[in-house]
Amino acid sequence: MDLLRHLGFFRAVADVRHFGDAAADLGMTQPPLSQGIRRLERHLGVRLFDRDARGVRITAAGQQLLPAARDLLDAADDLVSAARDLALPEQVRLGIAADLEDAVPGLLRDLAAGGTAVAPTVAGSVELVDLLRDGLLDVGVVRHPGVHDGLTAGEVLVVPTRLVGADSTSLGHITLPVAVPPRHHQPPAHDQLVDALRRAGHSGAVVEARDAAQRRALVAAGTAVGLVPVVDGAAEPGCPPLRLRVVLPHVTRRRPEVDHDAVAAAIAAGLG
């Protein structure tokens, strides 16, 4: 469990004594906030709030634990602020889903050409979302669908794909598995891709490879085919597209020296 994140839920509800208002302050919906409070209560072994017809009341145990929770959260914020002071302020800390494969260099070149200096991190989408929540990234490009409560997500971007290492352009005629990133990078998107392969006539067999270099090696060895995004050039009909979203921290947690919305718009234009 992400203890600091759940302690943030605790503090937010304690401050306003209302789950709906606390969820709005955190930039999320009420159900995951309520679930998060219940998980925290199970983790701590105490009940933090009582809910009845009169509203939300903090319990005696909650009152005892609240000051320590505030201290931990304040210390974490101080740590992140200190790290931000050490970082180069003019660089946008950009997280890019590893699924973008060879499209990553082109995206970075486009941003640089537009005057945006970037410090890139390429990783799985789940990891990128965690880094955004922790204040360690300014902008993320992640696979869709996925979970990003507490963050602001843009419209779904649809990037076409093509097959590599295949002797046919039709998935229905290919017997080799498709080399893909590990499922834990973004489980919902992984499962959606497997379903799309099956609908296209493929068996749905995939082989999970830790990074792009390993996926290219499998394709070169003839033990798998690849499915890579096509940002510039012709896509192949029938190949499942790559669905992405540009994700930003909640407005209250953004660095003032970064124009988050402008960077997000530039990324969307580069991938559109």
Planar angle of CA 131, 33, 251, nearest 5 degrees: 50
Residue 88's pLDDT is 56
Predicted local distance difference test score (pLDDT) of residue 251: 87
Cβ neighbour number for residue 81 with a 10 Å cutoff: 10
Identify the DSSP state of 239.
P
Instruction: Tell me: pLDDT of 66 over 80.
Output: yes
pLDDT digits (tens, 9 = 90+) for 11-25: 999 998 888 888 888
Q: Write down the pLDDT at residue 222.
A: 93
* Run of H or E including 97: strand 92-97
Give start and end residues of each alpha helix (H) in the chain: 3-16, 19-26, 30-44, 60-86, 103-113, 125-133, 187-199, 212-220, 260-271
Peptide bond connecting 145 to the previous residue in cis, omega within 30 degrees of 0: yes
pLDDT at 257: 85
Residues 116, 219: Cα–Cα separation, whole Å: 34
Q: Which of 46-50, 116-120, 124-128, 169-173 has the lowest mean pLDDT?
A: 169-173
Q: State the DSSP H helix or E strand holding residue 180, giving kind and residue range, or none if neither.
A: strand 178-180
Q: DSSP string covering 109-167, please?
A: HHHHHTT--EEEEEE-HHHHHHHHHTTS-SEEEEESS---TTEEE-PPEEE-EEEES-S
Euclidean distance between CA atoms 174 and 113, whole angstroms: 39
Model-level pTM? 0.71
Contact 2, 20 (CB under 8 A): no
Task: For residue range 68-111, list pLDDT tens digits in order.
Answer: 999 999 898 888 777 766 665 568 999 999 999 888 988 999 89
What tokens appear for 134 in the block? 């922790």
pLDDT tens readout for residues 198-254: 999 999 999 999 888 899 999 999 999 999 898 776 667 889 999 999 999 988 889
pLDDT: which is higher, 234 or 189? 189
The 10s digit of each residue's pLDDT in 125-147 is 999 999 999 889 999 999 999 98
How confident is residue 183, by pLDDT bands cut at 50, 70 and 90? very high
